[in-house]
Structure formats: C-alpha cells, structure tokens
Chains A and B, each alone.
Chain A
Amino acid sequence: MTCPQRHLVDEHFAHRTDAAREQALREHLPGCAECNARYERHLLFGQLTGQRAARDRLLRPFGLTAAARPRWARVLVPALAASLTLVVAGALLLPRTDGFTARGKPPSGVGLQVFRVEQGKGSTKVGDTLSARDALAFSVQNAAGKKWLMVFAVDAAGRVYWYHPGWENAAETPQAVPLETSAAWRELPDAVTQPLSPGTLELHALFLDERLDVKQVEASLGQPVPGALEVRRTVEVTP
C-alpha cells in the first residue's frame, strides 16, 4: 500500500515543493520506512546520474539557492516554468507551409517540448522567437509507441539543421535516435547550438516506426513519411 504522503518526496526532488510541504516531509520521513526508502532511491538516482545535487535542492523551498551548476550544455535542465507543448499535426508529413496546421482530430501520444538553455540561468520555454545564438534542448513524450525520433529545423533558405541525431561529420550518415515508449516527458541529451540564420525557422520532430537516416529525410522534405507522426513549429530567429 502506498503511503499517501509519498508525493512529498517526489515533489522535493522535482523542485516543486514549498517551505510548508518541505517541513511536512521532514517531519514525516523519520517515521515512514516507505517514504524513507523512496527518498533513498531518489538519492541513488541522483548519485548515479549527477542530477539533483543536495545543495541545489535542500534550501530551494526556503528561497536559498547555491551557485548555478557549471555543466549545463551536456544534460538538459528541466524548465521550471510551464513549457510549450507542440501537438502532433497528423499521421502524414504536412507540406511545408508557414505556421502550424492540423488536419482532423490530432492523434494523441506524442509531443515535443523546446527549451532555450542559458549557462547559469537554466532553461526556459521557447516562444515565438529565439536568438541565433540560443542553445536548444528538447524533451519528448511517446505514449504512441513510436520507435525512432528525428529533430531538425529548416530555415527560409532551405538549410537543414540537425539536432537529433547530431550531424557533425559529413562523411557519416547518422540515423534516427531510439525512443522509449513513455507517456512521461523524457529529456534528450545535450543542449545544441546551431549557426542559425535570422528569419523564419521551422522546427520538426518526426516520430517514426522505421529507422531513417538524415539523408533520406532531407531528400524527402515536404513528402509524407508513411506511418510517421510529425510535430512542427515555426519560430522567428533574431540575430
């Protein structure tokens, strides 16, 4: 049987608690083996993944924070504010048009969140604009059970910028990255800076059953990808 106070533990580690709930947690823990065990599991997860260091967590509910973590570009820092969720447009890859178009009832089960990551400041949601110098990071939702993911952007001149997979070596042909089935948001590794040109930029996320590679996708831009679910968003890049 799950302790009804267990949410206090999870909220603490998610940085979603306040002083009153934090105090309730500290009073509850010594007398509850189940919640104590869950706390220890969170600690182990943090120790193995390098996340949620104690100095970042313990006094946050009371308004005290430690210095920002120096490593920010390697692992996505979850946004503290509400993030922008892009809703899947449909089962077909839509023709390239400005803005966002939905056809019929959008299928549920996939989503993409886009963050701007700034060193020392954490991450914030991307709105309608972003700077050419911004490092972008993403998290995805995949309750639909798609197996592979590709995230890229296309500017007004037709240049393609690859985020996931990264394409750093012209001699290679990277393929779509693997996806776990999960209704929960999963962070993708790395915040990536691209040499974006000012102007309109279309962000694309392809959720695939078949493992395509970057050249296949670039060759078929604007064409439907059988079985794929696509998320698309248009933003304006400022210098």
Chain B
Amino acid sequence: MLEAIYRDHFDDVSRTARRFLAGADHESVVQQVFVKLLSSEDVRRSFQGGSLGGWLNRITQNQALEYLRRHRNEAPLGDEAVAALAAAPEPEQPALRLEAAQWVDRFRKTLPRGWDPIFELCFLKRLDQRSAAAQLGLARTTLAYRCLRIQWRLRAALLEDEAS
C-alpha cells in the first residue's frame, strides 16, 4: 500500500518540494515525507479522507518550511509568502541549473572533435541511441561506444577528479 502511494505520488511530492528547495535539500525533504508516512502512525492517522494528493501536498509543504527554518536560519516566511509559493504556477524546471550548465559547457569543450553532437543528442536531449544514430548518420554500435566513452569522461570529470 505504501509502495503504491510512493509510486503514484512521488512526482507530485517532488514537484511541491521543488517550489521551496533544490538539489540535495529538495531530495532530503521528499525522502522525509515518505519516511514519515512509513514510520509515524500519527501522520498516517492525520489523513481523514478526501484527496490523498492534497494531503500529501500539505505535508510536503510543511516539511519543506520546517527544513528551511531548521537549516537555513532564515526569517520564517510569512503566511502571505507561503501562500504565494504554494499557489504559484508550477515552476518550469530548467534543464540544468546555472552552475551545472556552465560546467557542462566547459566539459563539452574537452570532448574530441565530432563528439559534441552525440553529447547534445544523447546526454542533453536524452534521445534514444537508435534515433540519435540515425540523425547523425552513425552506426548504432559506433554511437553506443562513443556514448560509453563520454559517460566515462563524465564520471572521471565529475566524481573522480574533484580538483577540476
């Protein structure tokens, strides 16, 4: 039952949390919402019927505000500000946040000649390999191995060499 709730409502909880937080903070709050559901009978009992999604939305919002208060030492948001955040149109999540976009731009300059279109299609636009290969006029196996090598380079640049 809880697994079904997790599966069906994860995206909505994530979207609500993203109105307030980003990155690791956002993921911490999303996790906290579902862990509370798992571990706290009081929380589960607080659902009195009606829209499960709406109830989860309120829990997520409260969790996000609690997180902000506890970790950011910011002045608490006033009621009007909270209401405005919650009622705002769903923020269009940028494909990459600014710092990440700048990192990616630098990374692309390190790729061998001719690989940047592969990176663009397969890693940024998330096109499947068959479609990307067709668009670029490459054999699929050639594209697959170049993707693999790009992935290795990404891993090395992001996770194995933090001096860069």
**Chain A residues with a Cβ under 8 A of chain B:** 22, 26, 29-31, 36-45, 47-50, 54-55, 58-59, 62, 64-67, 74, 165-166, 168, 172, 174, 177-178, 180, 182, 186-190
Cβ of B23 under 8 Å from chain A? yes
Given contacts A55-B10, A189-B144, 19 further A-B contacts (CB under 8 A): A38-B162, A39-B23, A39-B24, A41-B158, A41-B159, A44-B100, A44-B104, A45-B154, A45-B158, A47-B96, A49-B123, A55-B14, A58-B27, A59-B38, A62-B38, A64-B2, A65-B3, A186-B152, A188-B148
Q: Give Cα A62 to B158, complex, Å.
A: 28
* Chain B hits for A168, CB < 8 A: 141
A74-B129, A189-B144 known; A62-B23 Cβ under 8 A: no
Cβ of B86 under 8 Å from chain A? no
Q: Quick one: which of A39, A55, A178 contacts B145, CB cutoff 8 A?
A: A178
The answer on a CB contact under 8 Å between B24 and A43 is: yes
Q: Quick one: which of B25, B31, B149 contacts A58, CB cutoff 8 A?
A: B31
Q: How many residues of B contact A (CB 8 A)?
A: 42
* Chain B hits for A55, CB < 8 A: 6-7, 10-11, 14
Q: Give Cα A36 to B72, complex, Å.
A: 14
Q: In the complex, what residue of chain A is closest to B25 when comparing beta carbons?
A: A30
The answer on a CB contact under 8 Å between A43 and B141 is: no
Q: Give Cα A54 to B6, complex, Å.
A: 12
Q: Give Cα A168 to B2, complex, Å.
A: 45
Contact code string B1-35 (vs A, CB < 8 Å = 1, else 0): 01100110011001000000001110110111011
Shortest 10 CB-CB contacts between residues of A and residues of B? A30-B71, A39-B24, A58-B31, A189-B144, A41-B158, A48-B123, A55-B10, A45-B158, A26-B28, A189-B148
The answer on a CB contact under 8 Å between B103 and A50 is: no
* Chain B hits for A178, CB < 8 A: 145, 149
The answer on a CB contact under 8 Å between A45 and B24 is: no
